[in-house]
Amino acid sequence: MRIIVVGAGIVGASAAYHLSKKGADVVLVDKFHEGQATAAGAGIVCPWISRVDNQDWYTFAKGGACYYPELVSRLKEDGEHDFGYRMVGALTVSNDEDELNRIEDKVRKRQADTPAVGEVSRLSPEEARKMFPPLREDLGAIHVTGAARVDGRFLRDAMKRAAQKHGVVQYTGEAKLEVVNGKVTGVKVNDELLSADAVVIAAGAWASELLQPFGISIPVEPQKGQIVHLTLPGQDTSNWPVVLPQSSHYLVSFDDRVVVGATRETGSGFDYRVTAAGLKEVLDEALSVAPGLSDSTLHDIRIGFRPTGPDYLPLFGHVPSIEGIIIATGLGASGLTIGPYIGKLAAQLALNEEVEVDISPCNPFRNSVNV
C-alpha cells in the first residue's frame, strides 16, 4: 500500500515513521514553510497540570504524554539518540495558597488513575528555587515528576531519519491533490505525479490550502506565537524543571538555554514579524515569574504558527466526500504533546486498522456542513 504524507512537521514525520515501520510504501512531502509550529514550539510534555478543562482533549494529551517513552525506545532501536527529550519534572507556581491547593487536588486525582503523572509534592518557595533558581522569592509550587521537555526540531528530524531507514522517500515542494471520481489517486509535486492509495494531510496551519480547490474548508487557522530563547553563561540548566505559571506562558530549560513564551495571537495570519509588543509581553511575563533571568542573554526569537481549530481538540479523521484522505492537524498549543501520538493514530487510520482510541470527538468537520 502506498501512502503519501503531506507535511513533515511533528505529526507528518510521526505518521511517516509509523507507516514505514508497518511496511507501507511511504512518500513524505513538505514545502518547508518558514514558521512551522514544530520548529518554534517550546516542547512541554505535561498535560497533568494543564488549565484546559476538556476531557476529550485530556484523553489525547494523556495518550500523547504516555506514548513518549515507547516512542523514544523505538527510535533508539532504530539508531536515533538525539531528540532533546528528557524527563525533568514540572513546577506550577503561585503565591496563592488556595490556588495551589486547587491545583494539587486536581493533579492528585489524575495521579490516581495515571501512574505516568509521577510523584506529586508541595514545595515551599525556598524548595522551588533550589530546583529553578531564577524564580521569584514568594512563589510556592506543586512539583510533578512525570513531566518532560522535548526539542521538536530534533525529534522531528530523528523520526524522519528513522523513517528513511525504513524506506520512506522525501520530496520538497508544494503538493497538489489528484482526485478522480471522488477518490484521491495521489499528489502532484513539482509537476511530477506521485500515485497513492491514501494521503495524510499533516500540513499544520497550511492544511486547508490542499482542499480548497475541491470546495472543502478545514476550520484551521494560524495562531502566531513569539518565543524567546535566553542563555545563562556558566549555569547548568539541563535538569531544571518546566515552570508553568497560571497563565498561558511558560519557562522551559534545555542544556544550553531557557525558552520563555509565548504569545497567542489569534487572527494574526502568517505575520512573520517580531513585534515590540510581542517581545515585551513574553519578557515581562517571564521576568515577573523568574526575575533571576534579568541578566540572561537574549539568544534567539522564533516565530511559529500553531494550527488552531474551533476548540482544543485536534482536527483528525477522514474527508467524507473524498475517499482516501485523512486530515491530521489543528493541535494548537498541544502539538509537541499530542503530535507524535496523532501521527501514530494517523498511520493506523491510513492502513485501515482499528484505531486504538475513539477519534470521533476530533472529526475535522464537527462544526461544518461543507464536506
Q: Which residue has the cell 497567542?
A: 264
Beta strands (DSSP E) in 181-219 are 183-189, 192-195, 198-201
Query: How far apart are alpha carbons 205 and 309 in whole angstroms?
Result: 9
Q: What are the backbone dihedrals phi and psi of residue 193, each rounded to the nearest 5 degrees, phi first? A: -90, 120
Domain ranges (residues) in the chain: 2-39+153-220+311-362, 87-147+221-308
Model pLDDT for residues 74-133, shown as the tens digit of each residue: 999 999 988 889 999 999 999 999 999 999 999 999 999 999 999 999 999 999 999 999
pLDDT band for position 369 (50/70/90)? very low
Model pLDDT for residues 249-293, shown as the tens digit of each residue: 999 999 989 999 899 999 999 999 999 999 999 999 999 999 999
Read out DSSP for 109-155?
Answer: HHHHH-GGG--EEEE-HHHHHHHSTTS-TT-EEEEESS-EE--HHHH
Query: How far apart are alpha carbons 53 and 312 in whole angstroms?
Result: 9
Domain at 2-39+153-220+311-362, CATH class: alpha beta
Q: Which CATH superfamily is domain 87-147+221-308 in?
A: D-Amino Acid Oxidase, subunit A, domain 2 (3.30.9.10)
Asked whether this chain's domains 2-39+153-220+311-362 and 87-147+221-308 adopt the same fold, the reply is: no
3-state secondary structure of 344: helix
Model pLDDT for residues 207-233, shown as the tens digit of each residue: 999 999 999 999 999 999 999 999 998
Query: How far apart are alpha carbons 315 and 329 in whole angstroms?
Result: 5
Query: How far apart are alpha carbons 137 and 154 in whole angstroms?
Result: 34
Q: Is the pTM of this model over 0.85?
A: yes
